[in-house]
Amino acid sequence: MNSYTFRRAVLVMAILPAVAPASAAQRKPAAPPEQVARAVVHADSTGDWVALLRLAHPDALARFRGLQTFQLRMLGSAEWPVMDTLAMDSLGMDSLDVDSTVQARWQRARTRQVRFMLDSVFLVPTVDSLAHTSPDTVFARWFRGTRAASASASAATAPKRPPAYRVIGAVRASDTLAYVVVERPVVQPLGPMPEMFRDFPRETHQTEVMVMRRYGKEWRSMLDGVGEPYGYSADLGHEE
């Protein structure tokens, strides 16, 4: 063996130990859908939006942005019905009472809500701007904005603990799609049940299905059941 061949052999032997761990890491299997579901529930319950972004499928974030844009555009539309039947009943009104004054008040209420969401939650000037904002940014701002009030209200209390839950299992529909069944406890009202609700069945647990999709070699969440309800409406209440 000449000196050149010897030096090459020594170099290869020196490199192999460093390459081997990396190759082993690359062969590490992706977390199964059930494990991803547990991580999503934990991140959501503890307000860890950074972890949720890491666990979310890009399609879920794009869909979320589209839903927020759609809702705000609809809420601010001049073609919105003056008031639905439930709202009129709550105010003791019928269709004949809905005059131009009420219509204008309802429009102002919706405009205020849209303006609040754009200015205080999404931090953009218009709905069109929101539609062109990064999906990651839209979700992060929404999550932080909608959690801000509850976080400040519970600042003096003990840290929030993840709720009790149980991952029942996963069903893989294909190599790229899986459904994870999660059982959560239903929060029970404090104190005695009002008389009018005494015959209403009381559920102790509810079952939810979380959708997981492949993204590259990883399973990612479609954000089913994450956070507070995505919808919001105008409050036709007291005006200054």
60 and 141 share a domain? yes
Tens-of-pLDDT digits for all 240 residues of the chain? 555 555 555 454 554 455 445 454 456 788 999 999 999 999 988 889 999 999 999 999 999 999 999 999 999 887 765 555 555 555 555 554 556 777 788 888 899 999 999 999 999 999 999 999 999 999 999 999 887 756 555 554 444 454 567 899 999 999 999 999 999 888 777 778 788 887 888 888 889 999 999 999 999 999 987 765 444 444 545 555
**Is residue 74 domain-shared with residue 132, that is, in the same domain?**
yes
Q: What is the pLDDT of residues 72-118, one digit of tens each?
A: 999 988 776 555 555 555 555 555 455 677 778 888 889 999 999 99
Same domain flag for 210 and 135: no
81 and 175 part of one domain:
no
Domain of 74 in residue numbering reads as: 48-159
Is 9 part of any domain? no
Q: Which two tokens stand for residue 237?
A: 């209440």
Give yes or no: residues 155 and 193 share one domain: no
Q: What is the model's pTM?
A: 0.72
Assess contact for 127 and 7: CB atoms under 8 A: no
For residue 16, being part of any structural domain is answered with no
Instruction: Single out the residue of 228, 52, 64 nearest to residue 149, CA to CA.
Output: 228
Task: Say if residue 183 is in the same domain as residue 198.
Answer: yes
Quote the distance between the C-alpha of residue 212 and its chain's center: 14
Task: From 159, 188, 208, give the residue that closes a domain.
Answer: 159
Q: Is 185 helix (H, G, I), strand (E, B) or coil?
A: strand
Q: Answer yes or no: do 166 and 220 share one domain.
A: yes
Amino acid at 65: R
Q: Is residue 47 classed as helix, strand or coil in its secondary structure?
A: coil
Say yes or no: 52 and 155 in one domain.
Answer: yes
CA distance readout (Å), 50 to 23, 44, 55, 71, 145: 28, 10, 9, 24, 14
Rounded to whole angstroms, what are the CA distances from 107 to 77, 103, 117, 181, 227? Answer: 9, 6, 16, 42, 28
Instruction: Say if residue 56 is in the same domain as residue 154.
Output: yes
Separation between Cα atoms, residue 207 and residue 157, nearest integer Å: 29
Strands 218-221 and 177-185 turn out to be unpaired
Domain count, the chain: 2
In a domain, 81, yes or no: yes
Domain end call among 119, 143, 159: 159
Q: Is residue 14 part of a domain?
A: no
Inside any domain, residue 99? yes
Residue 130 CA, distance from chain mean position: 17
Same domain, residue pair 110 and 41: no
Provide the CB-side half-sphere exposure for 237 (13 A, CA): 5
Within this chain, do residues 59 and 142 fall inside the same structural domain, yes or no? yes
